[in-house]
């Protein structure tokens, strides 16, 4: 039986990953900053202060890490605060998981991620992708979705508006532009879980690579 760790389990994608793993023969640890309720019997919670944990803590032995952390610059309050959540925490937990024996990592990034982008958000996402590839995981799965569709606990007004608009825009995004289409968080999560055992090396996944069966 393998053991997976999910960072960002209270978010839209992370929560759906927990549901997917709950139905698998897998032991799962959800690392969170606030309590989680109504969990399956094979899911345990590790509630920590992220800053303190990354300085002093260690993760239990694990096989695979799912990084589903994400916020917006507006919600974080500044670019520095955003980078702390999206880059520092993501990389820090990846380092901890690698030290705990993990050989695989799945990262939720963003369509357009590029470490050399002039856009701060996309540049940060790209920098995290590159940093994680240097940690020695035998399998690195990087997911670059467009707008995520689903019901969040938190309110994101711009995202809610976007979810309405994509109904009209998505059909127009064809060919190479299809990677910018919206994707349901549930479908993304299922793809991430299904592709854990898909092989070694660095793989990037866009809209056309997500499960549509």
The pLDDT assigned to 71 comes to 84
The pLDDT assigned to 151 comes to 60
Q: Which two tokens stand for residue 24?
A: 């698998």
The pLDDT assigned to 53 comes to 95
Active-site residue set:
121, 125
Across the chain, mean pLDDT equals: 88
**pLDDT digit string (tens) for 35-53?**
887 677 788 999 999 999 9
Ordered domains of the chain (ranges, CATH): 2-204 (3.40.50.720)
- Position with higher pLDDT, 204 vs 212: 204
**pLDDT digit string (tens) for 104-161?**
999 999 999 999 999 999 999 999 999 999 999 999 999 999 988 876 555 555 555 5
The strand ranges marked E within 49-200 are 64-67, 104-108, 139-143, 148-149, 183-184
Share of the chain above pLDDT 90, in %: 62
Q: Sort residue 144 into left (φ over 0), alpha (ψ -120 to 50) or beta.
A: beta
The pLDDT assigned to 159 comes to 52
Which of 25-29, 60-64, 82-86, 138-142 has the least mean pLDDT?
25-29
- Position with higher pLDDT, 170 vs 210: 210
Q: How confident is the model at residue 79 (pLDDT cuts 50, 70, 90)?
A: very high
Of 7, 9, 13, the closest CA to residue 149 belongs to 13
Over its C-alpha atoms, the chain yields an Rg (Å, rounded) of 16
Please say whether the beta carbons of 73 and 79 come within 8 A.
Answer: yes
């Amino acid at each position: 039986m393998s053991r997976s760790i999910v960072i960002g389990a209270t978010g839209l994608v992370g929560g759906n990953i927990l549901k997917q793993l709950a139905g698998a023969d897998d032991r799962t640890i959800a690392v969170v900053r606030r309590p989680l309720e109504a969990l399956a019997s094979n899911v345990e919670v590790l509630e920590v202060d992220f800053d303190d944990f990354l300085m002093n803590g260690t993760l239990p032995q694990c096989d695979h890490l799912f990084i589903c952390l994400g916020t917006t610059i507006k919600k974080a309050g500044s670019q520095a605060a955003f980078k702390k959540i999206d880059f520092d925490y993501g990389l820090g937990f990846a380092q901890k998981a690698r030290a705990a024996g993990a050989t695989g990592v799945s990262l939720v990034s963003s369509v357009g991620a590029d470490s050399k982008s002039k856009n701060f958000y996309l540049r940060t996402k790209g920098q995290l992708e590159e940093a994680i590839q240097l940690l020695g995981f035998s399998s690195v799965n990087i997911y670059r979705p467009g707008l995520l569709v689903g019901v969040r606990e938190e309110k994101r007004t711009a995202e809610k508006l976007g979810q309405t608009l994509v109904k009209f825009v998505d059909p127009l995004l064809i060919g190479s532009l299809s990677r910018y289409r919206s994707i349901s968080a549930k479908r993304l999560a299922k793809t991430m879980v299904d592709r854990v055992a898909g092989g070694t090396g660095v793989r990037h996944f866009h809209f056309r690579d997500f499960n549509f069966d």
